[in-house]
Amino acid sequence: MIHKGNKIICPSCGEENLIGTLFCVQCGTYLPSGGPLRTEPLPEQEEERPARPRQEGEEGKEERALNIEVEILNTGRKVLLSADREILVGRLDAAHGIFPELDLTTDGGLEQGVSRRHARIYTREGMCFVEDLDSTNGTFLNEERVTPYLPYAFRDGDLLMFGTMRMKVHIYSNR
């Protein structure tokens, strides 16, 4: 979270919120996410995102690399994902330039209701987040459907479901 002194500063409107506030009291922005996450980069832009200049001391401390392994329960396939960048979950569609890092086509993604751009997974400040991209059949975290475009933190051993496809996540920190 973006603590400043003993307050959370809303990244959207600048309002100072008490520690523990989940939605900004002024503008309703979800606070643990670090800001409004509504603008979706186009897939093309995603490919050529410029390398962010790395600041001194930033590594190691906050951006400790995490590896996320997902185990797709119906096929038993395990995929190890490097979470140093955002992971798009969905189904490959070359015609529309959609190249998900976690492509569920071969696991029966279409039949099980996985959208082409279904959700994204990313890490921030050592926590892993999943965010549904307004998929048709929804994303579920531990059997609870999540609201689109809101990041939900998940932990090692949690159960994620994209449409009806279930998978278990394992998180390894990678020093």
| Binding footprint of other proteins on the chain (CB under 8 A) | 6-7, 13, 17-24, 26-30, 32, 36, 38, 126-127, 134, 138, 140-150, 152-155
Identify the DSSP state of 30.
B
Work out how close the CB of 45 gets to other proteins at its nearest, in angstroms, rounded to a whole number.
20
CA distance 128 to 68: 9
Nearer to other proteins, 21 or 105 (CB): 21
Least distance from other proteins to the Cβ atom of residue 117, Å: 13
Nearer CB in complex with other proteins: 15/71: 15
Minimum separation from the CB atom of position 53 to other proteins (A): 28
Specify the residue for token string 């093309």: 44
Nearest-5° Cα angle at 130, 138 to 20:
115
Among candidate residues 139, 144, 107, 94, the one with its CA nearest the CA of residue 120: 139
The CA dihedral of 83, 87, 91, 95, to the nearest 10 degrees, is: -120
The residue (of 15 and 99) whose beta carbon lies closer to other proteins is 15
Between CA 145 and CA 137 the distance in angstroms is 10
Rounded Cα distance between 163 and 109, Å, is 8
Q: Of the two residues 6 and 45, which places its CB atom closer to other proteins in the complex?
A: 6
DSSP label of 146: P
Question: Least distance from C-beta 74 to other proteins, angstroms?
Answer: 18
Q: Please state the closest distance from residue 140 (CB atom) to other proteins, in A.
A: 7
Residue placing its CB nearer to other proteins in the complex, 16 or 69: 16
